[in-house]
Structure 1
């Protein structure tokens, strides 16, 4: 996995793809990396949301603000009113072969403009218990129950645009705080065995190096699939030597995972947990000496503590998917220069899919930043150049612990988002 290959070897080979004759990207020295848009300045950097230089602290402040994921701020940014979906609104009732609408006082809606607005929402006919927002500029426009009884939501188009933008800004923000997460994890792995920070740091290390999902108790019970926090002892197989373990288990959507762990500190942490009573693998002892099973909420709370931001376990997979796609495209551009860009995109996403255990369509829509998948001439050539070339300038201290390919992708995304922020603001629909 970049400069840390050998920690964990996966059946799906995270972060490295073989082209037969190409050298591993992680072999590049971090201090020889070129910024895709010029050398890094020693006094600061450009980052999304600004029009100029900023100190490292400002960069981290921006990252933590983005990671807060405030829905009220999102609605304001879209020029919309945030609504909870619980206030009185319009309802839809079956009427002959079509539908009739009622206001919050039970009166039939006869206003043609209102009915036109309701029809334009294209609420699925099968939905029941339909609620429609009274305001055309509410961020949430309608809710209802589908045929399975699950509550579904229809959002204002402006809200979706802003939220999609913020979702991918989050990738850049995570890249900014990742070095501090890694530094604290390294420190916590030196703490007493089976203490809370020691075990949670081990889980986060596995989370990052294996790309396995964090897991959820309820989902595990309903689907008989597992993630790191729901692994059972039966899922851990001893290797041929004392320094090797294999995590073998069914994951989400029936995907079988086989992860070989060879990093000795991680092996020691897992073995210590295995020797503690209980079915689950990961557990720790709190300050009162009480044994606690590690839950996904514990992992996310730990990530918030050590990053100072609203980081979640899923952020690792989104970050990895973006970097994996960039690395794959860079390699394919070198090894298959005559191939069409769209063909290379398909192959790159297929590789990401193999690593993350998701379908290609899910990977493309949820786990890869769209800027990475942009036009190769305007976009990925800068990443390819950054990964390949040697540079005169050293990386800034605040991202010095990022691997070469990660730093290149982060710099590329920051530059692209800075360009985006100079564009005219979104149109504000009424």
Structure 2
């Protein structure tokens, strides 16, 4: 919501509608839009860490929920911490750091989606840009000084000057300014022009001249309002309101119907400028191409008033550099303007479309290779299983043969034992017969028959 110079609540509140549109348009499947203006979990410092409390103020005891909150790694120094009660919320937590700046903890899937969406995001921004520009042109003609009219002027300046949007925290703590934090002392309305002179982020001095007649009229009207801030508007009750960076981003979302922000302008413009510059160059070697890339990145850094390293990483689309290195920029269709887009912007949109198609083709090829690899792996697995089964079968047969041999040997031993036992019985019977015969002979001979004769 906009900051205000009075205690009256802001009557013009576009942020809620914009947030709903952004949630409906861009939310990844399985996640839900989270709003930290709604009730959430809180935390309280204790001796051994933090305790967490639900929206009703009851202490959270569920171990799984505590583990989820701890996994967000919210710095202990953060104040005014809000924690999303829904584990599927795209924003999981917010808080204020030691410098009072609002910081966010996003759901991992939300970050993954945003990081993986580079081609589609810029391409969609290019599609939405004519719509945004048309909305800005209409709002610049609104009567009086309503919110949308002043925000349209700021967006027009963002589009034409590429000055950062700014933040209250940087203005207060670093005396560095952006469009929404400019003071009246930073602007001078001259004949047919508006001149802005101020210190921006990282202490970079800005001296920007704009010759847009409609913007000049609005800036002059803003400068006539009381207060130090430049960009202010009058709400439905006639109260002054200051335009903030969140308001501009909300305006862009409402105008485009998608989740675009002021930073997308700088990324778009940096990429378009890099493409336009590199497209005119012809390279005889890879070394020469690298030199041209370095020089172009420096030019973009000057345009965006940033460092070359940051511009290369954040504000020049990788498809531009890749196409230049592959000598593909010359093959883009001849540039021609389209309603709401300039010639170089149309060329950049065509490059993004080409890059997206190629990425989709590579994805399909990778998918086909992946399927073949999986099929080969499955075949290897089946062959391995068959081989294992054969080995097991051979082992089983071997064990069976061993068992059979053991059984045969046991049977043989048992047979020999039975024969020996039978022979023993027979021997005992014969011995008994012989003993009985001797007894009969002794009985027949009479007493003393066995005594030896006297000598």
- Normalising by structure 2, what TM-score? 0.57
Say which of 295, 306, 314 aligns to 1:358.
306
Pair 1:299–1:416, CA change in 2 (3 A): same
Report the equivalent of 1:249: 198
Report the equivalent of 2:290: 342
**How far apart are 1:72 and its partner, in Å?**
5.5
Report the equivalent of 1:33: none
Aligned length: 306
CA contact 1:274–1:281 (8 Å) conserved in 2 = yes
Say which of 343, 348, 364 aligns to 1:409.
348
Say which of 234, 248, 270 aligns to 2:185.
234
What pairs with 1:281-300 in structure 2 (closer than 5 Å)?
281-300=230-249
CA contact 2:139–2:149 (8 Å) conserved in 1 = yes
What pairs with 1:155-166 in structure 2 (closer than 5 Å)?
163-166=114-117
| 1:206 and 2:157 matched | yes
Structure 2 gap ranges (5+): 1-20, 33-40, 42-61, 64-74, 78-89, 92-96, 371-455
Give secondary structure in 2 for the equivalent of 1:340: helix
CA distance in 2, matches of 1:280, 1:153: 31
**How far apart are 1:362 and its partner, in Å?**
0.9
Report the equivalent of 1:278: 227
Report the equivalent of 1:92: none
Report the equivalent of 2:319: 371
**How far apart are 1:223 and its partner, in Å?**
1.6
Pair 1:419–1:73, CA change in 2 (3 A): farther
Structure 1 gap ranges (5+): 1-63, 76-85, 87-103, 106-126, 130-138, 141-145
Computing the radius of gyration over CA atoms, which structure comes out larger, 1 or 2?
Answer: 2
| 1:196 and 2:147 matched | yes
**Higher helix proportion, which one?**
2
CA distance in 2, matches of 1:160, 1:300: 19
Report the equivalent of 2:273: 324
| 1:419 and 2:343 matched | no
Pair 1:154–1:297, CA change in 2 (3 A): closer
- Normalising by structure 1, what TM-score? 0.60
Say which of 381, 402, 419 aligns to 2:328.
381
**How far apart are 1:155 and its partner, in Å?**
9.8
Give secondary structure in 1 for the equivalent of 2:277: helix
- Stretches of 4+ aligned residues off by more than 6 angstroms: 64-67, 150-156, 158-161
RMSD: 4.4
**How far apart are 1:258 and its partner, in Å?**
0.7
What pairs with 1:128-207 in structure 2 (closer than 5 Å)?
163-207=114-158
CA distance in 2, matches of 1:302, 1:351: 30
